[in-house]
Amino acid sequence: MSSSSQILTPDITIDITNDVCPMTFVKTRLKLEKMTPGQILEVILKDGEPLKNVPRSVTEMGDDVLDLTKSADATGTYRLTIRKK
C-alpha cells in the first residue's frame, strides 16, 4: 500500500458492500479483467471477510493495492484502490 498522500482518481468505482464472499472478489476480478493496464479501480467494501480477502486476492492475482482507507462517513465502509497491471 502506498504511503503517499497523492490523491488518485479512479477510472471505475464499484460498490460490493451488499455482496458476500466469494462474490466480493469475483465482482472485483471481473471488473479488473475489463480494464486496461494502469487504470485505477476503486472498490467500496465493508469490514469482515471482504476487507480481509479482497485486497489479499487482488495482490495474489498480480494487481497493485495502492490504498485502503476507512470512509470518513458513518457507513463503516472502506475504499480499496487498485491499479490494474
Q: Is 24 exposed, middle or buried (0-12, 13-18, 19+ CB in 10 A)?
A: buried
Catalytic annotation present for 5: no
d(CA 25, CA 31): 10
Q: From the candidates 21, 35, 44, 51, give the one annotated as an active-site residue.
A: 21
Cell of 57: 486476492
User: Which residues are part of the catalytic machinery?
Assistant: 21
